[in-house]
Structure 1
Amino acid sequence: MEAAARIFAGELGMATRTVRHAGVDCLLTPSGARVHLLYLVGALTATSGDARSALVARIADPTGVFLIRATPREPDLLAVLAGITPPSFVAVLGYAETGRQGTVVRPVSIATVDRAARDRWLVRTADLSAARLEEVAAHLRGEQVADPLVDEAIQAYGIDARSFERLRELALQALAPVPDAQAADPGLRNLLLERIDAGGRDGVEQSELISLGAARGCRRVEVEDALARLLGEGECYMPRRGLIRRA
């Protein structure tokens, strides 16, 4: 079997370019990763759909969300996915496919794991991201790089100093320890958790949490980032799109 790529959800969500590599069509990401077979670990926060047609799971890492789609063509995988109760840390091996929902992963295997496994995946994926970004940085400095797809990625996504810095920050965000995240804005984090706690089993609409943050003077993007961190840490989950419930 081919080697599986490791990529953060935030960068995978940016990928729109398809290239032919080793006889297969792959997604080319902004940092130059080729993604066909993908290995990911994150917090399964919600599952939607019908086991008779298809189930779509949202799996969060600290940078964003992967969408996993299992169909009756893989009944064993469909049964495994249907049997996992959010929130749970899961490891998924699957193929990245583009469609109407954007990039979706078609699973080959799904297994529940613990937080330590998730953390190991974060560290290894950050290391691989850093190595790719070194190649991008070298190319931007005008140096020769061995991988010709680095240039294609830079051209396809218009990578410059500013967008390079955003990619670097994305990788750092994935590794940011929870105490540091709390130190950045403990008030917002605590405010969101208190409201989610108060919502109990009914949960809280994401739009209400965004309004709550706005009343405190926080921008929408800051609230969404704080919620993404909480989902990635397994503190809360989405029983359906737009509804947040405490784990």
Structure 2
Amino acid sequence: MLKREVAKRVFAKEFEACRELEKSARSSSEPTDSKSPNLLISPLGLILNRVFVVGVLTELDSIGAQSEMWKARIVDPTGAFTVYAGQYQPDASIFFSTVRVPAFISLTGKARIYEPEPGSVFISIRAEEANVVDEEIRNRWVVDTAEQTVDRLEAFSRALESGFRGETLREYLLERGVSEELAEGISIALERDRFPREFAKQLRASIREGLKALDFEAEDTAGAAYQKEFVLELLREMGGNKGVDYAVFVETAVSKGVPEEVVEEVVRSLLAGGQCYEPRIGIIRLVG
């Protein structure tokens, strides 16, 4: 009986950059028969088959013509996951047929990759199970995932600085306490990626902004906090159930005495924190 792959926590930005991990590239200690799970590998060396994500469900469409099929978009502080569920995922399909957008949700599923032609890659999740959660659970997932990703970034940075590659690099990482799977993954990833430092830098910045957005008033002065609360309340008033045109919202806030840069900062924080989303381009709407 095959062991079920552990569902990994991963941010959307890293997940979207995953590529297929060929069986020939895997360690000889791993089974590589026809029943082996299809694995993906991220630019940081994370090897995954199943994922566990928590974020804001911002889009949901029924796309099945002959049979039931749902397509969803789940946003986290770094980007968005594309999710599908059909007749072979009955629990997830039932969930999507009843949930209302927007909502904080948790989801477990299998990673899928589709490459119709060289250079054109689509990454998605085939949902297995999904549930509505609250903002506190979403925030905890962000913090936990950030901690795991930062640990991976640190191991990746050590690998870059070492100058080693291949088996020598794997042994170097193992000696420094890196798990066997991650050591192997980093070794493989560095053989593939031409610009590893740039991706690591971008991911660090995304995580930093995401964590900051979870409590964007924590270090504000009283005056700045008041302005941000005013902008938030104005968004509630103008947005209603359908959202509001971003340009109109900014113009209105500025006309009421709030500096444009403050308005833009608040909106960026809300978007990164999953408290606000864009149902359509140029339209912003609060969650809840």
Q: TM-score, normalised by structure 2?
A: 0.68
Work out the CA distance in 1 between the residues paired with 2:57 and 2:229. 20
Question: Contact 1:42 / 1:90 at 8 angstroms: preserved in 2?
Answer: yes
Verify the 8 A CA contact 2:91 2:129 in the aligned structure 1.
no
Distance 1:61 1:78 in 2: 21
- How many residue pairs match? The answer is 241
Alpha-carbon separation, structure 2, partners of 1:211 and 1:156: 43
The CA RMSD measured in Å over matched residues stands at 3.6
Counterpart selection for 2:190 from 154, 179, 190: 154
2:163 pairs with 1:123:
no
Q: Which runs of 5+ in 1 are unaligned?
A: none
Runs (5+) with no aligned partner, structure 2: 31-35, 165-171, 175-182
Structure 2 CA distance for aligned equivalents of residues 145 and 210 of structure 1: 51
Correspondence for 2:243 among 203, 209, 223: 203
Change (3 A) 1:115 1:199: closer
CA distance in 2, matches of 1:47, 1:182: 36
Aligned to 2:211: 175
CA contact (8 A) 1:36 1:96 kept: yes
Change (3 A) 1:202 1:244: same
> What is residue 39 of structure 1 aligned with on the other side?
52
Contact 2:250 2:260 in 1 (8 A): no
Change (3 A) 1:228 1:69: farther
1:168–1:189 distance in 2 versus 1, CA, 3 Å:
farther
Matches for 1:98-109 after TM superposition, within 5 Å: 98-99=113-114, 102-109=122-129
Instruction: State the Cα distance separating 1:141 from its structure 2 match.
Output: 1.0
| Alignment of structure 1 residues 59-74 onto 2, 5 Å | 59-74=74-89
- Of the structure 1 ranges 231-240 and 54-63, higher mean CA displacement relative to structure 2 is found in 231-240
The structure-2 alpha-carbon separation of the partners of 1:39 and 1:141, relative to structure 1 and needing over 3 Å to count, comes to same
Q: Distance in 2 between matches of 1:154 and 1:217?
A: 42
Letter in 1 for 2:208: L
1:188–1:53 CA distance, 2 compared to 1 (3 A): farther
CA deviation profile, 1:122-167 (whole Å, cap 9, x unmatched): 1221121122112111111116223132132123222444433222
Query: Relative to 1, partners in 2 of residues 1:232 and 1:141: Cα closer, same or farther, differing over 3 Å?
Result: closer
Q: Is residue 110–residue 125 contact of structure 2 (8 Å, CA) maintained in 1?
A: yes
**DSSP 3-state at the match of 1:60:** strand
AA aligned to 2:43 is: P
TM-superposed CA distance for 1:229, in Å, is: 4.6
State the 1:182 CA deviation: 9.1
Query: Which has the greater radius of gyration?
Result: 2
Which residue number corresponds to residue 90 of structure 1?
105
- 1:46/1:166 CA distance change after superposition, 3 Å: same
- Percent sequence identity over aligned pairs: 26
Query: Who is 1:10 aligned against?
Result: 13
Question: CA deviation digits over 1:56-114, x for unaligned, max 9?
Answer: 11111111111111112323321211211122211111001123782111111111112
Which whole-Å CA distance do the structure 2 matches of 1:89 and 1:141 have between them? 39
Q: 1:6: Cα distance to partner?
A: 0.9
Conserved? CA contact 1:45–1:236, under 8 Å: no
Kindly report which structure 2 residues correspond to 1:207-246, keeping only aligned pairs within 5 A, or say none. Answer: 208=247, 229-231=269-271, 233-239=273-279, 243-246=283-286
Question: What TM-score results when the alignment is normalised by the length of structure 1?
Answer: 0.78
Question: Does the aligned pair in 2 maintain the 1:69–1:107 contact within 8 Å?
Answer: yes
* Equivalence for 1:145: 173
Larger relative contact order, structure 1 or 2 (CA cutoff 8 Å, min sep 6): 1
Cα distance in 2 for partners of 1:170, 1:233 equals: 11
